[in-house]
Amino acid sequence: MASLGILVLPFLAAAPTMAAGPFDSFVGLPQSAQASGVAPASPGTTAPADASAPQPRPAVKRFGARDTVRINVEGDWICDWSGLDIGQGRVGIAWFFADDVEWAIYGQGSAIWQPGEDAAAGGFDFELRWHFVQEDGWSLFAGVGIGMLEATAPVPSGGTQFNFTPSAGVGGTLALTDDTRLYVGVRWYHISNAGTSTNNPGMNGTSLWLGLSFGL
């Protein structure tokens, strides 16, 4: 019996090593890695990104940067101080073709109160604006424009229903959010048929206007 014990003892001592399996032969693996059968990442490797983690927002372009496009919504009150008043709404798209210089095209509708017959009108405006002062959160600009107006009655009274509308003025913008600006301006506003008719009384007025500009 003593000799049988001597023969069995070496096998009992070797049993834990034999039962551990071939994967436990990796030197230095922690027990958790041995239990899962997955080796830890090698030094220098990067863990995969967590898809659920918040992603950084794309950078917002500076207001007035070249090749930016904006939608402008504006309202005007135009007065010639002689009894003619115009309420006007405009919606347009503006393109900064150079830094701080925008070219805009508008569709507009107007209600006109004047001596004689009041009128409704619609047309298009083109405007060029240069933001000659550009600071963080605000700007100052000067602008010129030209438009075409078709009314339901002669404007001014005694004139024609179709007219041209040149304008020039100054204003400023104020940042409301990263991509929204408040526009405020004053301009000279002229109505004339440019001599296309013998009746051309014309009108020179002052326009006070507000607008919102949204970046695209």
Rounded mean pLDDT of 2-29?
48
* pTM over the 0.95 mark: no
| Amino acid 76: pLDDT | 96
CATH number of the structural domain 69-215: 2.40.160.20
Q: Lowest mean pLDDT of 27-31, 120-124, 184-188, name the range.
A: 27-31
Rounded mean pLDDT of 136-159?
96
Rounded to the nearest 5°, which phi and psi values hold at 191? -120, 125
Handedness of CA 148, 151, 156, 157 (dihedral sign): positive
H or E stretch covering 172 = strand 167-177
Kindly list the domain boundaries of the chain, sorted by start residue. Answer: 2-36, 69-215
Could you read off the pLDDT of 59-117 as tens digits, one per residue? 678 999 999 999 999 999 999 999 999 999 999 999 999 999 999 999 999 999 999 99
